[in-house]
Chain A
């Protein structure tokens, strides 16, 4: 019986010649990522060794990565102390894939990992972050786990008792209209599948539209696969994957492509034609509350956010800069820009995007998670409305349960910033 990409990856990582959905395996991990929550992972890791008389030892420090992104620079003494503790642990355990708060190599974990060549097709990647699904964009099986599970991975180098997930194949055809793109596709798909429609399953993306899509766009769709509940999203490695890994991630060695068998067994096949897709908006307070822009245009906005691990990459900033260039952010609207990594920030600076944003009246912040999870900066007032290119709009997500968050593409965000209301970018004159 044929295997899906994830079945093949798990078979290799579990030293089995074949397996199928529902089997229980113990795959070896190729990369284990944490962010500030490494503070908790360290606690749990040390606890594993308590009373054993053994020295706590990470199975392979070269496969562990820690990135500071959620609260950078630290918003409180507590966070600063956690980060300090993690730095000590990183040094003591010789963890090299560590990215501190820096303006050259820092950034959000889900951008830092791919751009530094830490992810390769066929890898098993685990991260103490639900959006670890992002890395499926490079043909890896990447999924989110909790801190205790990560502690277990640090100790053993494998994930215990993994049930091989069934796979939903999503076949995408058609050419996007101008100012419609990967974000609109994934919002549309989540609306279709619902927030739990892919729970415990993998979404494998196929079709000519995906073939043509840049790695940046693939990162966005795999990133948000978890919003349909998916264990992971994955795009089987192809020429674009290899191009990205060689040209942008600096990988020199051999790259193995893992592709599904022709007779792979999928639980379900979903076909989507994007030719007539309009910009999509996820309305408060669930990500699957997706509407076409027609239904919500004109909604008044107080804050626009462009950034995050979903849409804070160079092409996202480029499209926003193109729309906002020479215009002004509407009075009464705050526009916040968070490049996904320091590298992207520097590229955007060189390309003149940052200058355009500032001239228009936007505030450009350091790269990091920023207001995406409502801990740090860019909180909303009672009753205020945000329109954001991030990935979650749950009640309280941006720090205030009395506010509302709408999710959209960078093009919609930029067009709306100028008008102060939700605006269809396909209808504006540049």
Chain B
């Protein structure tokens, strides 16, 4: 069971998740400090308070729209949080699969800050409100990358296969 630490609205852009002015910072070890830099309360929560791994941020529609900057994903991955949203913008979604950030597409999700959620068997159970929400299954194409624990490992395997074929 995990707690919702923050609730966001629709169209949360990568400019909000990771403002452009920090784009020169690229290392996944350094990006997390700038996650949601312009939403002070959330940034402070992530940076100063102990947010346990597996904590949840809830978003609305079109989460992660905008730029392809991967820092928006590595910054969140640094806290091992889970993002549940009605749906995700394509590049952000693919980047999160590639880096292993857990994103859950849950079209009807209703949850508020502080709610306790249980994610299991294709459903999100909101223990606080008692409501149950269906999870949209991950497309097959992406499952393979998740199972390989990310695109680096997945590509590494392919590179080695290629080399051994020569």
| Residues on A with beta carbons closer than 8 Å to the beta carbon of B87 | 196, 199
Given contacts A49-B156, A161-B142, contact A395 B15 (CB under 8 A): yes
B72's nearest neighbour on chain A, judged by CB, is A146
Q: A51 CA to B142 CA in the complex, in Å?
A: 25
A394/B68 in contact, CB under 8 A:
no
Q: How far is the CB of A8 from chain B (nearest CB, A)?
A: 20
Query: Of B15, B69, B71, B98, which one neighbours A394 at CB under 8 angstroms?
Result: B15
- In the complex, whether A160 has a CB less than 8 A from a CB of chain B is yes
Query: Of A36, A43, A200, A394, which one neighbours B66 at CB under 8 angstroms?
Result: A394
Q: How far is the CB of B162 from chain A (nearest CB, A)?
A: 7
Given contacts A78-B24, A82-B24, A396-B15, contact A156 B62 (CB under 8 A): no
Q: A144 CA to B66 CA in the complex, in Å?
A: 10
Query: Of A128, A146, A392, A396, which one neighbours B19 at CB under 8 angstroms?
Result: A396
Given contacts A155-B155, A375-B21, A396-B15, contact A163 B141 (CB under 8 A): yes
| Residues on A with beta carbons closer than 8 Å to the beta carbon of B162 | 156
- In the complex, whether B45 has a CB less than 8 A from a CB of chain A is no
B16/A396 in contact, CB under 8 A:
yes
Q: A199 CA to B16 CA in the complex, in Å?
A: 19
- In the complex, whether B158 has a CB less than 8 A from a CB of chain A is yes
B23/A148 in contact, CB under 8 A:
no
Which interface class (under 10, 10 to 19, 20 to 34, 35 or more) fits B?
Answer: 35 or more
Query: Of A146, A196, A399, which one neighbours B91 at CB under 8 angstroms?
Result: A146
Q: How far is the CB of B155 from chain A (nearest CB, A)?
A: 4
A70/B66 in contact, CB under 8 A:
no
A interface footprint on B60-95 (CB within 8 Å = 1, 0 otherwise): 011001111111010000000000000101110011
Q: Could you tell me which residues of chain A, from 12 to 40, have a CB within 8 Å of some CB in chain B?
A: 24, 36-37, 39-40
Query: Of B15, B38, B66, B68, which one neighbours A146 at CB under 8 angstroms?
Result: B68
A44/B152 in contact, CB under 8 A:
yes
A128/B68 in contact, CB under 8 A:
yes
- In the complex, whether B159 has a CB less than 8 A from a CB of chain A is yes
- In the complex, whether B2 has a CB less than 8 A from a CB of chain A is no
Query: Of A43, A155, A399, which one neighbours B27 at CB under 8 angstroms?
Result: A43
A interface footprint on B11-48 (CB within 8 Å = 1, 0 otherwise): 10101100111011111000000000010000000000
B98/A199 in contact, CB under 8 A:
no
B26/A394 in contact, CB under 8 A:
no
Of the listed residues B89, B90, B144, B159, the one surrounded by the most CB atoms of chain A closer than 10 A to its CB is B90
Q: A70 CA to B71 CA in the complex, in Å?
A: 15
A151/B23 in contact, CB under 8 A:
no
Q: A153 CA to B156 CA in the complex, in Å?
A: 12
| Residues on B with beta carbons closer than 8 Å to the beta carbon of A37 | 23, 26, 69-70
Query: Of A24, A44, A52, which one neighbours B159 at CB under 8 angstroms?
Result: A52
Q: A382 CA to B59 CA in the complex, in Å?
A: 27
Q: A400 CA to B164 CA in the complex, in Å?
A: 52
B62/A195 in contact, CB under 8 A:
yes
A152/B62 in contact, CB under 8 A:
no
Query: Of A130, A148, A200, which one neighbours B98 at CB under 8 angstroms?
Result: A148
B26/A39 in contact, CB under 8 A:
yes
A196/B62 in contact, CB under 8 A:
yes
Q: A44 CA to B90 CA in the complex, in Å?
A: 21
Q: A39 CA to B62 CA in the complex, in Å?
A: 28
B38/A401 in contact, CB under 8 A:
yes
B interface footprint on A358-394 (CB within 8 Å = 1, 0 otherwise): 0000000000000001110000000000000000101
B96's nearest neighbour on chain A, judged by CB, is A146
- In the complex, whether A147 has a CB less than 8 A from a CB of chain B is yes
B62/A229 in contact, CB under 8 A:
yes
Q: Could you tell me which residues of chain A, from 48 to 75, have a CB within 8 Å of some CB in chain B?
A: 48-52, 54, 70-71
- In the complex, whether B130 has a CB less than 8 A from a CB of chain A is no
| Residues on B with beta carbons closer than 8 Å to the beta carbon of A52 | 156, 159-160, 163
- In the complex, whether A209 has a CB less than 8 A from a CB of chain B is no
Q: A70 CA to B23 CA in the complex, in Å?
A: 10
Q: Could you tell me which residues of chain A, from 150 to 174, have a CB within 8 Å of some CB in chain B?
A: 151-152, 155-156, 160-163
| Residues on A with beta carbons closer than 8 Å to the beta carbon of B49 | none
Q: Could you tell me which residues of chain A, from 268 to 308, have a CB within 8 Å of some CB in chain B?
A: 286
A148/B142 in contact, CB under 8 A:
no
Q: Can you give 21 contacting A-B residue pairs, CB < 8 Å?
A: A37-B70, A48-B156, A51-B156, A52-B163, A76-B24, A128-B68, A129-B67, A129-B68, A144-B91, A146-B94, A147-B26, A148-B98, A155-B159, A156-B158, A161-B141, A195-B62, A195-B65, A229-B65, A229-B89, A231-B90, A373-B23
Residues of A within 8 A of B (CB): 24, 36-37, 39-40, 43-44, 47-52, 54, 70-71, 76, 78-79, 82, 127-130, 132, 144-149, 151-152, 155-156, 160-163, 195-196, 199-200, 229, 231, 286, 373-375, 392, 394-397, 399, 401
Of all A-B residue pairs in the complex, the 4 with the closest CB atoms, nearest first, are A146-B95, A196-B62, A40-B26, A161-B141
Residues of B within 8 A of A (CB): 11, 13, 15-16, 19-21, 23-27, 38, 61-62, 65-71, 73, 87, 89-91, 94-95, 98-99, 139-142, 144-145, 150-152, 154-156, 158-160, 162-163
Given contacts A48-B155, A146-B68, A231-B90, 9 further A-B pairs with CB under 8 A are A39-B26, A43-B26, A78-B25, A146-B95, A146-B98, A149-B95, A152-B151, A160-B155, A396-B20
